[in-house]
Structure 1
Amino acid sequence: MENITNKFENIVKYVYEAGYLKHLKRAGWSMLGIPAPESVAEHTFRTAILGYMLASLEGADPQKTATICLFHDIPEARIGDLHRVARRYIDAKEGEAEAFAEQMQRLPEEAAKHVTALFRDYEEGLSQEGVLAKDADLLECLVQAREYQVQGYAGVSDWIEGCYKGLRSASAKQLADVFLRVDPQEWWKGLKK
């Protein structure tokens, strides 16, 4: 009975740790003076949606892509969200790898194997889904920057340009073009009674 209890307690600890991402703010936006930037969990949520959509458009597996997106920033619960200036001095990849390996020790063996394969696919772009998950991550950052831009934060153009340059799939580039053209408030216009 002790092993079953430990297994469930470890899963619970992992889920609590993932929940911490709801409180962890994306660090780069603070450099622009954005007083209440999005959390890592908020970023992850929309990244998963974008991953699903990109995979649908590109003929890849939407579920696999969205699942990769869900796990792509889990190590940040331990190392934080390091902005590009911090990454100049700190090897984030090494820290993420170490944090991720320790996090996987909490999961049942089969789940850990599966999540590790998804994480590796994201990091190394081993499949079309891994490449699209990376595109979704960049595209979500571009979308968030666009929303901040419309709110009057002028310094986000550097984020928009950098994310756009990193996109690899045709669908991600086409979506980015539309995101940059359409006002973020457009979705609700005409829906009010």
Structure 2
Amino acid sequence: MIAALEGGNAERAAFLSLFHDTQESRVTDIPYIGKHYLQATANEQVTDDQVANAPEPVARMMRDAVGEYEQKTSLEAMCARDADKLECLIQAIEYREQGNANIQPWS
């Protein structure tokens, strides 16, 4: 929806959104603070390992999508990243509404 409102290709943004976190199946989701203490493997490298045995057209499609998302080389990639951050904020609001005492007040 964000991509469509920005004049981009909504289907491409949805594709990038769908596959941008596939690396977490191998390395988990390292929190921002944790990245200061851990040496994280680049998402592109994890994707290379994940598609090592895939047919070349599929492997190339996945590498290109992850690279586009990580490098923010398109409007769709930027919109997909914005949507990811928005989803995280919405999830925090949902947790707060469910009574989670660890959610800090929004100011």
TM-score (structure 1 length as normaliser): 0.51
Asked if residue 77 in structure 1 is aligned to residue 39 in structure 2, the reply is no
In 1, the alpha carbon distance for the partners of 2:27 and 2:6 equals: 33
Superposed CA deviations along residues 91-127 of structure 1, whole A, max 9, x for unmatched, are 33x3433221111213211111111111111111000
Higher relative contact order (CA 8 A, sep 6+): 2
Superposed CA deviations along residues 122-153 of structure 1, whole A, max 9, x for unmatched, are 11100000101110110110110110011122
User: What residue in structure 2 maps to residue 66 of structure 1?
Assistant: 14
User: What residue in structure 2 maps to residue 119 of structure 1?
Assistant: 66
Structure possessing the higher radius of gyration over alpha carbons: 1
Instruction: Give the structure with the higher percent helix.
Output: 1
In 1, the alpha carbon distance for the partners of 2:61 and 2:9 equals: 16
CA contact (8 A) 1:66 1:133 kept: yes
CA contact (8 A) 2:47 2:62 kept: no
In 2, the alpha carbon distance for the partners of 1:96 and 1:137 equals: 16
Q: Which 4+ runs in 1 deviate beyond 6 A?
A: none
Structure 1 unaligned residues grouped into runs of 5+: 1-52, 162-193
Instruction: Give the fraction of aligned pairs with identical amino acids, expressed as a percent.
Output: 36
From 99, 103, 106, the equivalent of 1:156 is: 103
Q: Cα RMSD (Å) of the superposition?
A: 2.0
User: What residue in structure 1 maps to residue 43 of structure 2?
Assistant: 96
